[in-house]
Amino acid sequence: MKDKIFGVLQRIGRSFMLPIAILPVAGLLLGIGSSLTNATTIETYHLAGILGEGTVLNALFTIMTKAGNAIFDNLPIIFAVGVAIGMAKKEKEVAALSAMIAFLVMNVTINAMLQIDGTILADGTVASDVLSGTVASVLGIQTLQMGVFGGIIVGLGVAALHNRFHKIVLPNALSFFGGSRFVPIISTIVYVGVGILLFFVWPFVQNGIYALGGLVTGTGYVGTLIFGIIKRALIPFGLHHVFYLPFWQTAVGGTMEVAGQLVQGGQNIFFAQLADPSTVHFSADATRYFSGEFIFMIFGLPGAALAMYHCAKKEKKKQAGGLLLSAALTCMLTGITEPLEFSFLFVAPLLFVVQVILAGAAYMIAHILNIAVGLTFSGGFIDLFIFGILQGNDKTNWMRIIPVGIIYFILYYVIFRFLIQKFNLKTPGREDDDAETKLYTKADYKAKQGAKDQNGSVSGGDERSILITQGLGGKKNISDVDCCATRLRCTVVKPELVNDQILKQTGPSGIVKKGQGIQIIYGPSVTVVKSNLEDYLVNAPDEEYIAQETAPELEEEKKEETKNTVEKTTKKVLCSPFTGEAHPITDTPDEAFAGKMMGDGYMVMPEEGVVYAPEDSTVSFVFPTNHAIGLTTEDGVEYLLHIGVDTVKLEGKGFEMFVNNGDFVKKGDKLMAFDIQYIKEHAKSEACIAVFTGLTEEEEIVMKASGHVNAQEDIAEIVSC
């Protein structure tokens, strides 16, 4: 039960990352625009000639301010759509459209209920006895003030409906409305009901939120300390987004009237004050949920990195120094701490406990010192410059961060160095002699990846995808793939099939396993890792992968010995779908195919741009870019016919498909045509590969033909030992 709850919370947390990811650009637009149109700033620095009213720059920065405000003003619907996309498993674009529709329907329904109840009068005004702030305008609709909670309610609900109904089959008379078309229909119906329900329920929720917010704000500095400790402690579990978001975006984080409007949530209050020219000093009560991050991200953790470097073994110092320097700079500039935190979290949990306590105290210290620097994503120098330095010390007290930061640098350095040496903690550079020093990736993996890219063979991302799939127990064991800012987040069917040793070969800075939820930390490049993995999983063998207990080299030797001593039996003679020059699959100019990572088979260098059905079979799939076809014969043999190497990037150009998914074809039927010359000019190779993805371990492909072969002629055999 706990594992299921963790898995759900993990998915919810990662779904928040898409709408959260837009906040930095919105903050930049609002921060720069409002700073450079502020009358006080213009007057102080005598910039009226270039930034004063009526100038081109003033108009440009005014537009930037309004563009940034547009995002912050409409966060509820952004969260509705973003969460639906993040939680939907398939056809995410349908979930996004359904969420937008449901959000509008829900709020219009609430508006109608408010009019019926008399809360909203006939002239559109709010009744005088209604508590200020409980009714707000959302997309021009007067509705209950739910903030991003309203969007999250829609996003989660629509995603659940989408995952349940996007493949529904309706009776023939209504079949047009089946499948994904049914999702916006059912979402509309459901969210009329949700709107009515929320009209009665949400006022009680509002009272609870205000009470919780009052409890947090009422505990003063102690409440800030507790908030900071909990937020940092949740980092290893990836649940910190779920925890801090209400404090940033809802009344849990406090309320304040800014420019005549009641604003809820610490981050929203800061940006509302940022856009208000009359603001004299930003509210430290609002920014206490993030101002402290600048202290330990820019100063504290780099001190810890220096301590780990000085404690590294002499022979490993150079390698550890390079890795730690890269991670420290990432932390200082962007506020992404996980490369550093995960470098000691698993090998020295004691250091992470120290980090949690010191980081929590930093939030409290910033609050005590009335430091009021906002941020959009994390507490790195970029945000400090825009929302602290650029806004001026009078508004933010940003200069107080420097002396506190220096003290924190020393504290982290002294404490980390003492504990590392006292308890002989295995931080980077202090591993056993036969272990490798690493943070992001293994050095030999990078070298191998670079060499492959130079030689024009399979990219590191493809190899990494294969290893990730194997490490997670095979495609059949993977039920969901997504990511947040730094972590690949996967859900597996059987956690016991997950192999840490294989996953470590892909170069993560840490692996977190909690029941069926697996998080692999790659850093800011994780979105590319996720994209490559999703592409690979499209055509990966749908099977479980159980790693061999013995070394791969010994296994290969055993297989070779078995092949040489056991008599082979021909099970099936195979005909060529192509006309051209026949080769064994190991000659394919692509390491994934040549290494039989997708299965055994053969390769033909084509002389004719036509693919024929090699035998009677059913088309199991047609790849969206038309460069590959899957076939399943009547006796269960599975073909993957792949035209060219790296031809997926051609996006269907140069290919003409004659069949569709589910078609039955006879031997000799034309399956597709392709332009050999176009592929030669625009892809890596025109080689045509036939891969047999369903072979057992006892089966292999043995070539019967070499040199020229015509389509429909015998080319190979499936033999078993």
Considering only the C-alpha atoms of the chain, give the largest distance between any 2 of them, rounded to a whole number of Å: 93
Residue 26 near residue 72, CB atoms below 8 Å: yes
Q: Give Cα 638 to chain centroid, integer Å.
A: 33
Q: Alpha-carbon distance 420 to 126, whole Å? A: 62
Q: Write the CB contacts of 385 (distance below 8 Å, at least 6 apart in sequence).
A: none
Residue with tokens 């921060």: 31
Nearest alpha-carbon partner for 159 in 105, 95, 103, 97: 95
Q: Which residues in 117-127 are b (16+ Cβ under 10 Å) and which e?
A: eebbeeeeebe
Residue 363 near residue 228, CB atoms below 8 Å: yes
- Label residue 132 exposed, middle or buried (CB < 10 Å: 0-12, 13-18, 19+): exposed
Residue 644 near residue 699, CB atoms below 8 Å: no
Q: Alpha-carbon distance 340 to 412, whole Å? A: 13
- Tokens linked to 686: 């025109």
150: left (phi over 0), alpha (psi -120 to 50) or beta: alpha
Please identify which of the residues 484, 490, 575, 688 carries the catalytic annotation: 484
Neighbours of 163 (CB within 10 A): 16
Q: Write the CB contacts of 387 (distance below 8 Å, at least 6 apart in sequence).
A: 27, 31, 270, 274, 373, 374, 375, 376, 396
Neighbours of 169 (CB within 10 A): 10
Residue 474 near residue 521, CB atoms below 8 Å: no
- Tokens linked to 282: 């930003």
Percent helix, strand, coil in the chain, to 5, is: 55, 15, 30
- Tokens linked to 482: 């997504």
- Label residue 393 exposed, middle or buried (CB < 10 Å: 0-12, 13-18, 19+): exposed
Q: Write the CB contacts of 677 (distance below 8 Å, at least 6 apart in sequence).
A: none
Residue 78 near residue 85, CB atoms below 8 Å: no
Nearest alpha-carbon partner for 305 in 332, 284, 287, 282: 332
β-bridge mates for residue 629, sequence order: 622, 641
Residue with tokens 């995808």: 465
Amino acid at site 107:
N
Strands 699-703 and 655-657: unpaired
Neighbours of 219 (CB within 10 A): 13
Please say if 331 is a catalytic residue. no
Strands 638-645 and 628-633: antiparallel
**Three-class SS state of 140:** coil
Catalytic residues: 484
